[in-house]
A and B are shown apart, each in its own frame.
Chain A
Amino acid sequence: MPSPIPASIDATVELLKGGDYIADRSLATVLYLALKLGRPLFCEGEAGVGKTEIAKVLAETLKRPLIRLQCYEGLDVASAVYEWNYARQMIEIRLAEAQGVHNRGELAADIFDEKFLIRRPLLEALQPHVEGAPILLIDELDRTDEPFEAYLLEVLSDFQVTIPELGTVKAAERPIVIVTSNRTREIHDALKRRCFYHWVDYPDLKRELEILKVKAPGASERLSRQVVGFVQELRKLDLFKAPGVAESIDWSTALSELDVLDLDPRTINDTLGVLLKYQDDIQRLQGSEAAEILRKVKSDIAAQPLG
């Protein structure tokens, strides 16, 4: 049985926490509204801030199936919504011919039957599910092109899909829709208007510490504090790609695997590839700059001990 949707913003925060997702109030508010009013949630933000994770956690905590549509350039109706099973249709035609069926209208009705329909994620999400309305994750929408985005308008506002040969399929119960975008291009306003918009920002120091505590429990408190301090400093620099939350989790997991208890410039140099993914950024940081930041972080921690 699916869990009911949360009854208040506070309950939403708790719900996400139950799935090991430490959300800030703004996200919980938007998510609560999206759930309550049955409208899609549109999350935009840098890579690695936990946009996709929202949908996964939601599916887990609400005990509903997760249906994921990963977008890519050239994504079309055949791979996103439905496709006819051509091979089976051909066989059907051959069989009909062998049996001497000559009524073409009947044959057409036969081969464009639901049993020859292959359901892709969008259509699947509109079907009734025993576990309750599914979570539909439309991931990285910015990777598709504008025509597909326009197609989504019908799906996201009326929750229906039109198949010319069969008619219109309408969802009995609206799926919970989460759309994410990395902003490799702007999504059209028409689509955003149908959703609740949220810009997922990097977490602040306190929240990132909480996240690490949950997601990388192996790291000591002291190390986590240093990792978070360091990463937060990096985000202030003018880097080509600042590290996201995913990177800080990876980094502290990696460091604790290496049995590091205390950050030092050498370890940072050796493991910088976990945090930064562009050669220019790594090159810039390696050596003195990383050491400088580390010194600053450590003096900050000394000045303001945990508590």
Chain B
Amino acid sequence: MDTLPDPPAGLPGREPRDGKLASNIVHFARTLRTAGLKVGPGQILRAIEAVEAAGLRNRDDFYWTLHSVFVNRRDQREIFDQAFHVYWRNPRLLEKMMDMLLPQIGVPAEQDKGKQLSRRLQEALQPGQGEAPEQSEEPPEVEVEATFTVSDREVLQTRDFEQMSQSEIDEALRAISRLRLPVPERRTRRYQPARRGPRIDFRASLRRAMRPEGLTELARREPRRRPPPLVILCDISGSMARYTRMFLHFMHAITNDRDRVYCFTFGTRLSNVTRALRNRDVDIALQKASAQVEDWSGGTRIGQALHEFNNKWSRRVLGQGAVVLLITDGLDREGASGLDEEMERLHKSCSRMIWLNPLLRYGGYEPKSQGNKAMLPHVDDFRPVHNLESLSGLIAALGARTVGADKRLSGWQTELRKE
């Protein structure tokens, strides 16, 4: 167990009541916040309280004490860990930076055996990079390496959504506000009062019995209905590039229209963009999402992406009768390896699987590609998305309740099963 480094002024030193400690924790919390953790004043107070309770005997305890307050999701651990080690190793580094708003050193050069700091944290540690560095004694030496490797199939580029014109957005928003996705509600195991419900509500009946006229009619209740969770898996690979922007708007609209919507994008890798899209403002939401996703317009590995989804996410988002909406053209660069099994698993773990395929708008569509062949047997609903060239076309197609499953679906499915 390492001991705390010899503290310069303000390190969590001997006395917990030291005002410096509190201010250090506040600064640390601000670093975390800049790095994207949700840290509010309440948590800071609690952190100080917790540190006082736990005492400051060694670095490990201090670490876990702060951890227990500031971290509340597993995926935050990495960021916290890096922030902790950078910050409490040399608190001056950060203080200076924060005071001067100066990118001085990117990251302590010795930072842990080639372990890359996450980009979020790098950015948090270099606040105000854009500001004019007037007092800088040495030129900011910021070494931002690309933290991803470029494979031959991956074209990693950050998509610029700013090119979307205002009138386009307005039109999209107007159209989208009328959009309701027809997903039937499911029965839950909760009850609500209903005149002719199948069950007697004893509690309400007894209350009713207290009225002057006495119990004249039993109160009844019925199962409550609510829309099931909706999981949208959207292909953003090169072959889908023309539609991607519209689908993102679409996902944003759905996410804000109802609760329990989870959005994922995939090309060569799977990204969960749910939190980004939850932002009310469509601009901010799309900006956040586009910053998060790194494989725009690259290749597609549907099998791989679904495998990742099945392993990492399916158990977390597919509960309570979820409906899956899969948006892809089914053109897989990997020759559909493993796709059949993953589709089968996905189909079996959700209550309903709907495939939206833009290729279906061509009259002569046949499930010829390997990807299509592998996927088709495992869908409940196969919807054509007509005329996706324009956003209005998309909305019309998705919003219209009359657009049902393609009549040819069952025919294709029987044929494919025979093979």
Contacts and interface: CB of A to CB of B under 8 A. Distances in A.
Contacts of A277: none
Interface of A: 8-9, 25-26, 29-30, 32-33, 36-37, 42, 44, 73-74, 76, 78, 84, 86, 89-90, 93, 104, 107-108, 111, 142-143, 145-147, 182-186, 189, 192-193, 196-199, 238, 240, 280
Interface stretch (B63-71, B109-117, B370-378): B63-71
B190 A74 contact: yes
Nearest to A84: B203
A184 to B, nearest CB: 5
| Interface size class, chain B | 35 or more
Contacts of B319: 73, 142-143, 184-185
Top 5 closest pairs, chain A to chain B, by CB: A74-B189, A29-B64, A86-B202, A192-B72, A197-B72
A9 B212 contact: no
A197 B189 contact: no
Contacts of B38: 189
Contacts of B15: none
Given A9-B54, A30-B64, A73-B320, A197 B206 contact: no
B77 A199 contact: yes
Q: Is the interface of B mostly helix, strand, loop or mixed?
A: helix
B189 A73 contact: yes
B53 interface: yes
Given A184-B315, A199-B77, 10 more contacts: A8-B55, A26-B60, A33-B68, A37-B49, A42-B72, A76-B190, A76-B191, A90-B206, A189-B72, A192-B73
A89 B68 contact: no
A280 B349 CA distance: 15
A9 B50 contact: no
Contacts of B315: 182-184
Contact of B54 (A32, A142, A240): A32
B408 interface: no
B368 interface: no
B185 interface: no
A74 B73 CA distance: 25
Nearest to B203: A84
B54 A86 contact: no
Nearest to B77: A199
B407 interface: no
